[in-house]
Amino acid sequence: MDFNLNEEQARWRATAREFAEQVIKPDVLRRDRLSTAAERIPWDWIRGADRLGMRTLGVPKVFGGAGTDILTLCIVGEELAVGDLGFAVIMDQCWKMGHILSDAMTPEQQKKFIPRFVKDPEATLAIGFTEPGAGSDHQGYHDSPDIDFRTTAVRDGDSYVINGTKRYVSNGCMAKLYFIVARTDPSKSLREGGSVFIVPSDTPGFRAGFFHEKSSQRLATNGTFHLENCRVPAGNLLVGEGLMSRLRAEYMPGSKAEAAATVLGVGRAAYEYALQFAKERVQGGKPIAQLQAVAMMLGQMAMRLDAARLQIWKAAWLADRKQPEARTLGLLAKVNASEAAFEACKLASEVLGGAAIMYDHPVEKYLRDAASFLHSDGTNQVCLLRAAQALSSETSPSLYGF
Ligand SMILES: Cc1cc2nc3c(=O)[nH]c(=O)nc-3n(C[C@H](O)[C@H](O)[C@H](O)COP(=O)(O)OP(=O)(O)OC[C@H]3O[C@@H](n4cnc5c(N)ncnc54)[C@H](O)[C@@H]3O)c2cc1C
């Protein structure tokens, strides 16, 4: 094993770390406390990230992006999330669709949609699965025709007419381009009778609803939006009926590892803050970092976060090599990293004592942010169930046999 980063990975890590230190950290607590979701959207940071090439990091080089591998996306995601999880999520929603752009789109779709996204410094992407009646039930674990997943797309001549409501979607109501999951055959399960469509936000019939107000990832949006007789050309069909299982496995191969890396960044931010605090705060006659009770907590944090990172990097490494076990390891890495980060934030708040809840320290924000990934990108329970289901299948590849 070689843990040295290559030149490109090291350069992107340095760029993202500097952005987090110089741009995000100095202003993030003020922005986090602004009262409405709309005023918190960090358009200036999105433009700044675009100037550095970070917004289009996952876009293939032939289309003007950096075309980095999944491991690099994980490294950059962690660094940005040390600054702010919400901002890292805004970026990651763009990156995790990289393989959709390169592998799922037809050449005509690539020509039509990618340049628009690349050229617009404020453009972001979003993927809409979740609906009021289908949260975990769109994850493929309980895959039955009876789930309450209502968005439909009906073929009408050379177009499809989409109707439905999506909620909680990251970058929802701010993104310019959406990938929408809809039932094209409601008599079948979502895996068999679902399809994915490309829907630009200026399509007639696409109606932004509202931003959900929330306690975590406050700089990112989670939107509810509606598709009301939203007509798209048949050429906007991205993934057809019967091929839905390819969406996650082949077209979003690094999504769980990338999500895990972002929440890991919050845990690291909490650890770094608590460590510095413990070196400076004197009680019991010495810096509290030297008190065994506190040192144990710092050691626990470092241990869990480092182990989580190794698992994430392995999942990313496998995904970059299109190994079949990458998906299962990604699910496990997301569960493990979100638990490790949440635990690290809790321990950081123990280290800070009363300061943990005070607004002049960032730890209460880290705790709120880390909580979001216990259930976003699939609840941890359902991610574990999906991983266990894959592990117990007859054709499951060993997690150790690569
Ligand atoms: C920050 C954030 C970002 C998100 N971004 C997006 C996005 O970009 N696009 C998108 O489409 N969606 C997005 N979502 C939605 C997300 O995918 C869902 O919230 C998630 O899948 C869980 O669905 P739910 O909230 O309806 O919970 P529910 O499905 O109602 O789950 C409630 C509880 O029941 C348990 N449960 C449910 N089903 C089962 C089962 N079969 N077996 C055992 N236990 C079960 C769950 O584990 C959980 O404990 C986001 C959510 C959040 C919080």
* Domains of the chain, residue spans: 7-119, 125-242, 253-391
Question: Residue 326 in contact with residue 253, Cβ under 8 Å?
Answer: yes
- Centroid of ligand 1 to alpha carbon of 299 (angstroms): 32
Q: What is residue 213's DSSP assignment? A: P
In this chain, the answer to whether the domains covering 125-242 and 253-391 adopt an identical fold is no
**Residue among 100, 218, 376 to mutate when testing ligand 1 (max atoms within 8 A of CB):** 376
Closest by CA position to 297, among listed 237, 343, 363: 343
Q: For 212-269, where are the E strands, in sequence order?
A: 222-233, 237-239
Give the residues across from 170 on adjacent strands: 222
Is pLDDT at 398 greater than 90 in this prediction?
no
pLDDT band at 402 (very low <50, low <70, confident <90, very high): very low
Please give the CATH topology (third level) of the domain spanning 253-391: Butyryl-CoA Dehydrogenase, subunit A; domain 3 (1.20.140)
C-beta of 186 in contact with ligand 1 (< 6 A): no
C-beta of 324 in contact with ligand 1 (< 6 A): no
| Residue with CA at minimum distance from ligand 1 atom 30 | 135
* Tens digit of each residue's pLDDT (9 = 90 or more) over 205-216: 999 999 999 999
CA 270 to CA 308: how far, in whole Å?
15
Instruction: Report the percent of the chain where pLDDT is more than 90.
Output: 96
* Tens digit of each residue's pLDDT (9 = 90 or more) over 327-376: 999 999 999 999 999 999 999 999 999 999 999 999 999 999 999 999 99
Closest by CA position to 274, among listed 337, 334, 364: 364
C-beta of 141 in contact with ligand 1 (< 6 A): yes
Return the residue matching tokens 């976060």.
305
Over residues 313-340, mean pLDDT: 96
Residue 291 corresponds to which amino acid? L
- Centroid of ligand 1 to alpha carbon of 223 (angstroms): 14
| Residue with CA at minimum distance from ligand 1 atom 34 | 136
CA 11 to CA 31: how far, in whole Å?
28
C-beta of 370 in contact with ligand 1 (< 6 A): no
* Tens digit of each residue's pLDDT (9 = 90 or more) over 258-288: 999 999 999 999 999 999 999 999 999 999 9
Atom of ligand 1 nearest to the CA of 142: 41
Is pLDDT at 401 greater than 60 in this prediction?
no
Residue 402 exposure: Cα atoms within 13 Å on the Cβ side:
15
| Residue with CA at minimum distance from ligand 1 atom 1 | 376
- Centroid of ligand 1 to alpha carbon of 136 (angstroms): 5
User: pTM of the predicted model, to two decimals?
Assistant: 0.97
pLDDT at 287: 98
* Tens digit of each residue's pLDDT (9 = 90 or more) over 17-73: 999 999 999 999 999 999 999 999 999 999 999 999 999 999 999 999 999 999 999
Q: Please state which CATH class domain 125-242 belongs to.
A: mainly beta
| Superfamily grouping for domain 7-119 | Acyl-CoA dehydrogenase/oxidase, N-terminal domain (1.10.540.10)
C-beta of 142 in contact with ligand 1 (< 6 A): yes
pLDDT at 394: 74
pLDDT at 393: 87
